Structure 1
């Protein structure tokens, strides 16, 4: 009893309950998917909003630098703080070393910050997980999953959020590392369709991509999303 009242106290079986509660906040978040191949990285996120609500303030896709971005599940406010730090880190790297920051270094910096909030009294863990992906300066594509504990893992394809168990199962069956960017887009859409309840229209998802050809973050427009949906029915 009482072991979940402070982040600095381990339970007798070695658990930090506040971290586990933060992980549960991620599980309750909207579904986010990241996939990569040699041609680039694709992010797709589920959108939820009330009929009268604007999308401003509830974004789930963020650009860190031209060549790197994130998709998030969990508390958006927590994610914005981490994203702002990652953006500063990316620009400091350019000013200090005259080169783009690597995807791994960006992930490590994010996770170092998240880990600090698991060992200091008076704070709480970040209630968010991020899929960090992009194209490294050496043209290699990378995709990492971060955890509220500060741990991270590399993936070819991954999903987080409320629908992640079904999405990961679908990805494990359908993903192929040799897929083109167009095939990856269709894969992410089909994966979201497996987990999103109700009608699946363009207002239910967003997609962003970074290709190895131009190494630029691009958020697909509503028209491009509709064309992608139409192509699935052909």
Structure 2
């Protein structure tokens, strides 16, 4: 259940509680499932959903389940742009120090979406378009975010999305993924070992204490992004992540 804010407007808090519950279930939920997940009375949930549907912030599907509505897309896109603008100076600091491309990504449903990038000056570099969506299980940022989730939730996500293996190095089973996530939790960062693209390695780390799950990464060719590179990159990722978290939580 959403935490109530002192002095908050109860009806607004309830609306966002409903939206977050729909999001937490993977995007589609029945009225009874919502009622089981919150202390709100069923008539209140139904009234809030009718209002959200009429405004376009929720949809009622033919199977009578509810999902997030299309008007939320515009809000999310604008929020992502603002987050990218806020983070860009820190990403550029990563590039200046380490010499490789830096990215910021957020969790969006069962995928990551890249919201900002500072490219390397090298002609041969990792390139990811801002706005691109990617799987969680075979990207550095995605695995960093999955490591912050319980194993049961990780299993539910990959059950919904499947586990495509774009390269011979990609993780293809839930068991192998959970083993990898245990290692990430232990060391505090993830590595994409050519799992998205052969010849590209990525070091990534979750940004702590952010309103939306966020990760920062640095990527480049395996010839330059070596284990020695990683020893320099990890402290920088931690420092930059902390600075981005401060900016995201300001005000």
Write 1 or 2 for the structure with the bigger share of helix: 2
How would you bin the TM-score normalised by the shorter chain? under 0.3
Write 1 or 2 for the structure with the bigger share of strand: 1
